[in-house]
Amino acid sequence: MVLKERREGILHLTLNRPERLNALTGALLDELHAALKEANGDPEVRALLLTGAGRAFCAGQDLAEFGEQKPDYEAHLRRYNRVVEAMAGLEKPLVVAVNGAAAGAGMSLALWGDYRLAAEEASFATAFTRIGLVPDSGMSFLLPRLVGLAKAQELLLLSPRLSAKEALSLGLVHRVVPGERLLEEALAVARELAQGPTRAYALTRKLLLETYRLSLTEALALEAILQGEAGRTLDHEEGVRAFREKRPPRFQGR
């Protein structure tokens, strides 16, 4: 259900239930969680790329998973939350290539990428309230931060289906490319990130999330602590040396 392929320091993950638009089941979420944890602990992996197989990126929760049974969503969400915590806590950058429809929790997963590319034919829909649910998988946390409260209200309450172009204009994705070039372009970004200063990226990710809940004084203090840590890395030494020697740096991710 989750295809894994490693190359050039990149772990390429593909949600692979194309016959169901890669809709999320408990088993798929568990596989995704395991892959994220494994990647995080593996120093050879210095960037991740997430995409979907077939014509969709991910249609969110598989609405057929529970059949006629009434699911215990609160319990089921623990599986989602583990995945989201793993994505938020990644110590390497995550590139997301949205190849088609991203709806509900599928849209949430896409938004957790640090760099998000969309194919021209991709679309985005929050979808939750359309089926009488509230936003989950971090959508209520991320969406207003990405697009502002007013737009988040509209996207969550009315759930319009946004084109890739609209998503770009709202800042939901960083770039839109023709579908046939999506993977190539996403891999190029992932490759660049995989050759970068991995610790500095990890600490930057952490800062960007943490500062939302901190006062300015606390944010400045955290910046100082994490700068101290970044300053002790070999990559920082290499970055300064390369600058002085007027050559591109050769970062090792340490």
Task: Please identify which residue in 11, 21, 119, 193 interacts with ligand T3D, judged by CB under 6 A.
Answer: 21
- Contact pick of 23, 94, 168, 190 for ligand T3D (by CB under 6 A): 23
Q: Which residue in the set 117, 125, 172, 183 belongs to the binding site for ligand T3D (CB under 6 A)?
A: 125
Q: Partners of 147 in the beta sheet?
A: none
Write down the least CB distance from residue 104 to ligand T3D, Å: 3
Residue 125 C-beta: closest distance to ligand T3D, Å: 5
Q: Which residues, numbered 56-85, are part of the site for ligand T3D (CB under 6 A)? A: 59-64, 71, 73, 76-77
State yes or no: residue 135 binds ligand T3D (CB under 6 A): no
Candidate residues 136, 156, 164, 202; the one interacting with ligand T3D per rule CB under 6 A:
136
- The answer to whether residue 22 forms part of the interface with ligand T3D (CB under 6 A) is no
Q: Is residue 127 close enough to count as binding ligand T3D by CB under 6 A?
A: yes
